[in-house]
Amino acid sequence: MRAGESGEVVDMLTVEQIENGTVIDHIPPGKGLAVLTILHIGADFKGRAALVMNVPSKRMGRKDIVKVEGVFIDEKNVDRVALIAPQATLNIIKGGKVSGKNKVELPTEVSGVFVCPNPKCVTNHEDVETHFTHSKRGLCCRHCERCFSPEELAK
């Protein structure tokens, strides 16, 4: 056992350090795959990526961790991660060291990030940016006024 980029003790057998890239820590257990999906890291991704599931965590009991070599996620993708992993921590790794550490925050408004799941919404038919506002009804589309859960939007 040794300290990983996230600062917590992780299992050497399953997690390898990365030189440059992003480590997303404190993902709710079972949501790591969804995080990879919303970051569009799938079969076409040519870099190195790791998903570690159900790692013991002092804060969360269990958690998932995602590591992606050579990718520094931008603000839009931070918003996407925040929807399904609102407690997540982003660690930017440069030269094998943690150069930046940020907690994601659930945004109150998200523009141009998500596709509206309503097939009849005008944003799916015209060249227009989507805009969702967070409310108690969920994330509500400014155009069609329908509200969705974070999971529905992150699909």
Partner 1 sequence: MKDLVSIRDVDKKQATAIFKLADEMDSKSAPRKLAGKVLSTLFFEPSTRTRLSFHTAAARLGISLLDIESVGDSSIVKGESLVDTIKIVDGYADCIVLRHPLEGSARLAADLAEHPVINAGDGGNQHPTQTLIDLYTINRLKKKVGGLRVSLVGDLKYARTMHSLLYGLAMFGAEITLVSPASLQMDNAFIEDVKEQFGAKVRASNDMNFRDCDVLYVCRIQKERFADPYEAVRLQQEFRITLDSLKGAKDDIIILHPLPKVDEIAPEVDKSEKVRYFEQARYGVPVRMAILSDIMG
Of 132-151, binders to partner 1 (CB under 8 A) are 136-138, 141-147
Contact assessment for residue 29 and residue 53, using Cβ atoms and an 8 Å cutoff: yes
Compute the least distance from the CB of residue 129 to partner 1, in Å.
Answer: 10
33 scored as a contact of partner 1 (CB under 8 A): no
The reply to whether 53 sits near partner 1 by the rule CB under 8 A is no
Minimum Å gap between C-beta 38 and partner 1 is 23
Q: How would DSSP label each residue in 64-88?
A: EEEEEET----HHHHHHHHHH-TT-
Pairing of the two strands 2-3 and 9-10: antiparallel
Binding-site string for partner 1 from residue 54 to residue 93, where x marks contact by CB under 8 A and - marks none: ----------------------------------------
Q: Which is nearer to partner 1, 48 or 146 (CB)?
A: 146
Tokens 């520094």 correspond to what residue?
Answer: 72
CB closer to partner 1 out of 90 and 113? 113
Q: How far apart are CA 18 and CA 25, in angstroms?
A: 14
Count of positions on this chain that bind partner 1 (CB under 8 A): 19
In angstroms, the CA 2 to CA 34 distance is 27
Q: Which of 123, 132, 139, 150 binds partner 1 (CB under 8 A)?
A: 123
Out of 3, 9, 33, 122, the residue judged to bind partner 1 by CB under 8 A: 122
> Measured between alpha carbons, how far is residue 113 from residues 46, 79, 119, 128, 138 in Å?
23, 8, 17, 12, 16
Q: Cβ distance 131 to 109 under 8 Å? A: yes
Binding site for partner 1 (CB under 8 A): 118, 120-123, 125-128, 136-138, 141-147
